[in-house]
A and B are shown apart, each in its own frame.
Chain A
Amino acid sequence: DAGVTQSPTHLIKTRGQQVTLRCSPKSGHDTVSWYQQALGQGPQFIFQYYEEEERQRGNFPDRFSGHQFPNYSSELNVNALLLGDSALYLCASSPGQQETQYFGPGTRLLVL
């Protein structure tokens, strides 16, 4: 049983560019949440998707957007990248909005 998978593992972009990160949830899970983890910090909640809609959102600007597909996989898009967007982006899936979340290995984004 595959766990949560994310792609790519690493990514380097320059300021002003746009990036798309991908996540496939654990089998049987229909809810995907995204977190940003800056170096030396705990993860910060970006948003959660359920039934292909954004259900909850943290304190992140509109430059951060997402999508969930009918097969429950999800994308995180970040526009107009800033140096401060450099972080580990974690995807978590759960079998429902209020259930325990299981994390993927993350995508490490470096913005130069």
Chain B
Amino acid sequence: GEDVEQSLFLSVREGDSSVINCTYTDSSSTYLYWYKQEPGAGLQLLTYIFSNMDMKQDQRLTVLLNKKDKHLSLRIADTQTGDSAIYFCAESRSSNTGKLIFGQGTTLQVKP
């Protein structure tokens, strides 16, 4: 995950918004993904954005992409205790589209 960077930990209060950030290095990225991993489980696809888009909204989730700065963010509105998990961003590059490159993951802790 050396090419995709994420902060390791975020703590928020229930009902607040959470913003998880990710930076990537390859300008040829085609799709960028957000996955959620709960303890002892596999990865659940949350949402994704194509590289020619700036924003995508899906219910409580908003993805923002700044292609110039190679910065991706995931905003979770009205964060709930069930949102506590590890969140991974991943990129797919045009040169190697079958391979996802993941960040280290951001642990989101939601306090009641």
Contact = CB atoms under 8 A, between A and B. Distances in A.
Nearest to B107: A40
Interface in A28-49: 31, 33, 35, 40-45, 48
A48 B35 CA distance: 19
A100 to B, nearest CB: 6
Nearest to A43: B102
Given A42-B1, A42-B104, A103-B35, A98 B98 contact: yes
Question: Interface residues of A toward B: which range?
Answer: 20 to 34
Nearest to A55: B98
Contacts of B96: 56
B42 A41 contact: no
Interface string A86-100: 000010100001101
A90 B99 contact: no
A50 B97 CA distance: 13
Contacts of B33: 100
Q: What are the 3 closest A-B residue pairs judged by CB atoms, nearest first?
A: A42-B102, A103-B43, A98-B97
Given A33-B98, A45-B100, 10 more contacts: A6-B42, A33-B100, A35-B100, A42-B90, A42-B102, A44-B1, A45-B101, A48-B98, A98-B98, A100-B33
